[in-house]
Amino acid sequence: MTLDDRQLSELLDTAAGILDGASTQFVAGHRADSAVAKKGDDFATEVDLAIERRVVAELQRLTGIGVHGEEFGGESVDSEMVWILDPIDGTFNYAAGSPMAAILLGLLVDGEPVLGLTWLPFMAQRYTAIVGGPVRCNGDELARLERGDVGDAIVGTGTFNIDSRGRYPGRYRATVLANLSRQCSRMRMHGATGIDLAYVSAGILGGAISFGHHIWDHAAGVALVQAAGGIVTDLAGEPWTVTAPSALVAAPGVHEQMLEIVAAAGNPKDYL
């Protein structure tokens, strides 16, 4: 399915208005307590649930497009068109009182991100992009990403437990970060994947690694990074898709160097 620039622009404007409305609720609920326990030590707050219900209802009513959200699921991610929503990215930060939390919303058409919206309400930052670019912050057009060097970049990575197992064991992640630190001493752990990806699109970070696979963490940010001229793959260097097991996003040049550093850590299975 193809949407023209006018249709995409109208959808972006509608979605932005919905997220603006939800931002008041987002800010008011800061330091919210856990409401729902999830896998591992993850949880959702009542604000997560309320914002997802609100945004889903308004998106469906105003755009007629189904929504797949982190908390309640919904429309299949394989649908011809589907909104992908994370009502609070960085839930631990949000509940603890940190401002590093965001609302993430992306639109997939035939599995490809065509719109990205990342709202950081506590910092009054609103990142938006339509496929093909440019990326905008609060309506102002940002420069496209230029070729860079990992040694000059700030690199974002996800938090982890050294004893964790799974697809990317904790010891594997630690090795990747150790190797990165040898070439890039400017490492950051924001605890919010969507913020890392938005900051790559804005040129704040030169690159970022997400060891996770959740589509709601990636959809909005992948759209932003691609619109900015950045490169998005999984950790093995394969093109990012909605089923990708991870994400490595970076400016040109930085991405190639980061892939080499990741590859030097070897096979994640060897760390189990």
Binding-site positions for Mg(2+) read 70, 86, 88-89, 217
* 233 within 8 A of 218, measured Cβ to Cβ: no
Report the relative pairing of strands 43-45 and 34-37 from DSSP bridges.
Answer: antiparallel
Phi–psi pair at 251, nearest 5 degrees: -70, 155
Structure token pair of residue 30: 């800061």
How far apart CA 28 and CA 43 sit, in angstroms, is: 19
Residue stretches of the annotated binding site: 70, 86, 88-89, 217
**Amino acid at residue number 272:** L
Strands (E) in the chain, as ranges, are 34-37, 43-45, 67-69, 73-74, 81-89, 102-109, 112-120, 125-130, 135-137, 140-141, 155-157, 187-188, 207-210, 231-233, 247-250
Largest CA distance in the chain: 51
CA pair distance 84, 6, nearest whole angstrom: 21
Element (H, E) at 153: none
